[in-house]
Structure 1
Amino acid sequence: MSKITLTVIKADVGGSVGHTDVHPELLEIAKEHLKEKGKMLIDFCVTHVGDDLELIMTHKGGVDNKEVHKLAWDALWACAQRAKELKLYGAGQDLLKDSFSGNVKGLGPGVAEMEFEERKSEPVIIFMADKTEPGAWNLPLYKMFADPFNTIGLVIDPSMHQGFKFEVYDMIGHKKIIFETPQEIYDMLVFIGATGRYCVRKVYTKNNEIAAVSSTQRMNFMAGKYIGKDDPVLIVRCQNGLPAVGEALEPFANPHLVAGWMRGSHNGPMIPVSIEDAVPTRFDGPPRVCALGFQLAEGKLIGPQDFFKDVAFNNARKKALEIADYIRSMGPFEPHRLHLEELEYTTFPQVAEKLQGRWEEE
C-alpha cells in the first residue's frame, strides 16, 4: 500500500477586523485555488482559526513536496493580495518573502505534515491554535502520550504500554534530541517545560511509526522583529496503539497558560472552542484552540467533526474565562506580561538602549 501524506499549512494573510477573523472572501479564494490548481491533491479542507487561514491537504508526494508547498504558497499569496485590496489588518504579514523557494519552511507560514500508511481505520485530529506559540502543544502532547492520568491506554493497552519517543526541538539553537518515555520523562520535562525555547516537534511509537507532528516555525526569529505570534498547528493520529480520540482531546479539558494573547506579549489560558467561536476579541484573545477530526479513507478527508463544539468542554471554557479575568488584572506586570527575554522583539530593546546611560553603579 502506498503511503499517504497529510499536510497542514497555515498563515495569517490578513485579519478582519483587526486580528479577530478571516474574511469569507479569502476562504473562497483559497478553496477555488486548491480546487483548480491542486491536481496532485487527493483531498483538501480550507478553514480558519481566528485570523489564521488553514489549508489541510492529503496527497502522495511525501513531506516537503515542492509541488504541494508551492500550491499552498500561491493560494496564500493570492489571499494576501486580495487582503491588501480590502485593507485587511496585517495583510500578508506571515509571507516573509516575495517568492517561493522549494518549500514554505522559512518563508513564514506554519507547517505540520506526516507520511504514513493508512491503517484499517485512520482517525486523525488537526489541532489549530491562534494567539500563541509552538510551545503551547508541549503540555497537551506530554499528557496525551506520557501521562497515564490522562491516557489510560498507557496502563491497560498492551500496544501502548511500552511508551513513546518524543522529538524535542530547540527553536533557538536549532538542535533536536529524542527522549524515550517513560524512562526519560524527568529529563524531558526539564526542557519541554521551557515552552518559549523547546517544543515537542514529533512523537513516534517505539517502532518508529509517526504519531504526532507540530509546526515549529517562530515568526519573530525568522523576521528579526515582532510581527505576531506563530499560531501553531498539530496533527495527531489516534486509536489502535495510539491515544484514543477522547484521550487526545482530554488535555484541553483543563485550560493551561500559554504565551501570546495581546501583541504576542502576554500569558493567558488557551480556550478550547468550536470553529464558529474561534474569533478572539477580548484583549485580542484569549488564545484559542480548535480541533477538527477526520477519518481518512484512501486519502479522502471524511469529516470534519468539530470536537470542541461539544458541551463537555463548557466547564473548560468557563474556567479559562475566570483565569483570563484574574490574570488580566495584572496588566503590564509579570507573569501576565511575558518576561523580558521573550520581549526581545518588542519595545524593550529600544527602551533599554535609550536608558543605558542613566543606570548608575552602586
Structure 2
Amino acid sequence: MVKTTVSVIKADVGSFPGHSRTHPKILEAAARRLKEAEGNLIIDSYVTHCGDDLELIMTHTRGEDDEEIHRLAWDIFMECAGIAREMKLYGAGQDLLGDSFSGNVKGMGPGVAEMEFEERGSDPVLIFMADKTEPGAWNYFLYKIFADPFNTSGLVIDPSLHEGFIFEVHDVMEKRRIRFSTPEESYSLLAYIGAPSRYVIKYVWKKNGIIAASTSTQRLSLIAGRYVGKDDPVMIIRAQSGFPAVGEVLDPFRTPILVAGWMRGSHHGPFMPVGVCDANCTQFDGPPRVICLGFQVCNGRLIGPADMFDDPAFDGVRLQCCELSNMMRAHGPFEPHRLSLSEMEYTTLPAVEKEFKDRWEDIPK
C-alpha cells in the first residue's frame, strides 16, 4: 500500500507590524504556489499562520526528508521573503539562514515536522503550530497525551492503548537521541523532558512501531550561533482508533503552562491556545500562542480544517493566561520572568555583557 506523508514546514519570512502577524499577501502567494504543485509534486495543501510564522501543510507520497518537497517549501519561503522586503515588513527572511537550497531545509532555519503512515479506515490528524516559544514547549503536552492515564483514559480502558508508547527524545545541545518506553520508563523520561530547553520529544510511536506524533526540534539560535528569532515549533498528532481520542489530545491545553520565549525570546510566559483569528501576538509580543487545525486524511487529501481551539471550552484557560501574563510581566527584567542566565546565552544579552567585560574587578581579599 502506498503510504501518505504529512509535512508541516514553517518559517518567519516577514511580518507586520513588528512580530505580530503574517501579511495576507504572503499567505496568498504561498497558497498559490502550493496549489500549482498539487497533482504533481504534492496531493493536497493548506496554508495558514500562527503569529508571524508562515505555515505550509502538505500531503504527498514521497516520504520524510524528501529533497523536492523541501525545495518547494524553501522556494516559497524565499519568494515570500522577497514580497516582505518589497513591503518593508519586519524581519523579512529572518528564519532563512542561507541564500541557496542545500537538499534539505533542516539546519537552514525553517521548522519541520513530518510523518509517513498507512492510512486507516478513518485517520484524524491534528496539526499544532506555535509562536513565540521553543520546541520543548510540546514536552508537557505529549507526556500528558501519551503517558498520563489521568488525562488519557484510553491508556487504562482501551486495550489498543494499554501497552503504552515509545518516546524519542533529542538532546539539542549534544546532537544525540534516546528512546524511552512508557509506562515502565515514565520517571526516567520525565527526568529529561522536564528540561525542555535541552531535551525535546521528537517522535512518539506505538509499541508496534506505528507513528503517533512528530514535532519540529530545530533551534534557530543553535544553528545561527546567535539570537535571530524564536523557534516557533510545529507538531503532528494522529488520533482515535489505537491512538488517544481527539478530546484526549486537546485536553492538556486547558492547563496554562509557562514556556520560554515571548518578547525577544528571553522570557517565560503562559502558552495560550487560540483560534486562528486570535493567533496574533500583541501583549509584549505575546503571550506565546498555539493553534490547532484538525483534518481527516483521505487518500492523501485534507478534509478540513476544523479550528480546534475556536471553542468557548478554552475561554477559561485563555483568561488564566491573561492573568498569568500580568503576574509574570510584573517581574520586569527579573527572573523567573526573564530566562535564566544559561538560557540567555543565546539571546541578545551577550552583546550587553561584552560592553562591560573590561570593567569588572576582582573583589579584594
What is the TM-score normalised by the length of structure 1?
A: 0.98
Is it true that 1:132 corresponds to 2:133 in the alignment?
Answer: yes
The separation in 1 between residues aligned to 2:136 and 2:130, in whole angstroms, is: 11
Instruction: Give percent identity, aligned residues only.
Output: 60
Aligned partner letter, 1:140: F
Equivalent residues in 2 for 1:1-362, closer than 5 Å:
1-38=1-38, 39-353=40-354, 354-361=356-363, 362=365
User: Secondary structure at 1:126's aligned position in 2?
Assistant: strand
- Paired residues of 1:340 and 1:348 also in contact (CA < 8 A): no
Q: Look up the SS of the partner of 1:309 in the other structure.
A: coil
**Take 1:37 and 1:203, find their aligned partners in 2: how far apart are those partners?**
30
Q: Measure, in 2, the Cα distance between the counterparts of 1:5 and 1:266.
A: 35
Q: Which runs of 4+ in 1 moved over 3 A?
A: 350-353
3-state SS in 1 of match to 2:16? coil
Letter of the 1:158 partner, please give it. Answer: P
| 1:231-255, Cα deviation, whole Å (9 max, x unpaired) | 0000000011111000000110111
Secondary structure at 1:68's aligned position in 2? Answer: helix
What letter corresponds to residue 316 of structure 2 in structure 1? N
1:60-117, Cα deviation, whole Å (9 max, x unpaired): 0000111111111111110000000000000000000100111111111000000000
1:2 & 1:128 partners in 2: Cα distance? 27
Distance 2:183 2:220 in 1: 32
SS of 2:21 mapped into structure 1: coil
Matched residues, number: 362
User: Secondary structure at the residue paired with 1:89?
Assistant: coil
RMSD: 1.0
Change (3 A) 1:276 1:201: same
Alignment partners' CA distance in 1, 2:348 and 2:172:
22
Deviations 1:118-167 (A, max 9, x none): 00000000000000000000000000000011100001001101010000
Q: Which amino acid in the other structure matches residue 360 of structure 2?
A: R
- Which amino acid in the other structure matches residue 46 of structure 1? V
Deviation at 1:345, TM superposition (A): 2.6
Determine the C-alpha separation between the residues in 1 that align with 2:107 and 2:352: 29
CA distance in 2, matches of 1:339, 1:32: 43
CA distance in 2, matches of 1:358, 1:320: 40
Whole-angstrom CA distance in 1 between matches of 2:20 and 2:336: 24
CA distance change for structure 1 residues 35 and 267 in 2, over 3 Å: closer, same or farther? same
Gap regions ≥5 residues in structure 1 = none
Local SS of the residue matching 2:94: coil
Check the 8 A contact 2:172/2:200 in 1, yes or no: yes
How many angstroms apart in 1 are the aligned matches of 2:358 and 2:212?
A: 49
Per the TM alignment, residue 35 of structure 1 is displaced from its structure 2 partner at its CA by 1.5
CA distance in 2 between partners of 1:350 and 1:171 (Å): 23
CA distance in structure 1 between the partners assigned to 2:203 and 2:348 by the alignment: 34
- Counterparts of 1:8 and 1:346, CA distance in 2: 26
TM superposition score normalised by structure 2: 0.98
CA deviation after TM superposition for structure 1 residue 181, in Å:
0.4
One-letter code aligned to 1:167? E
Return closer, same or farther for 1:347/1:52 CA change in 2, 3 Å cut-off.
closer
User: How far apart, CA to CA, are the structure 2 residues paired with 1:243 and 1:359?
Assistant: 58
Amino acid at match of 2:179: I
Determine the C-alpha separation between the residues in 1 that align with 2:249 and 2:97.
33
Structure 1 residues 95 and 347, CA, compared in 2 at 3 Å: closer, same or farther? closer
Please report how far the alpha carbon of residue 357 of structure 1 lies from its aligned counterpart in structure 2 after TM superposition: 4.8
- Mapped to 2, the partners of 1:64 and 1:79 lie a distance apart of 22
Question: Structure 1 CA distance, aligned partners of 2:249 and 2:346?
Answer: 34
Shift of 1:355: 3.0
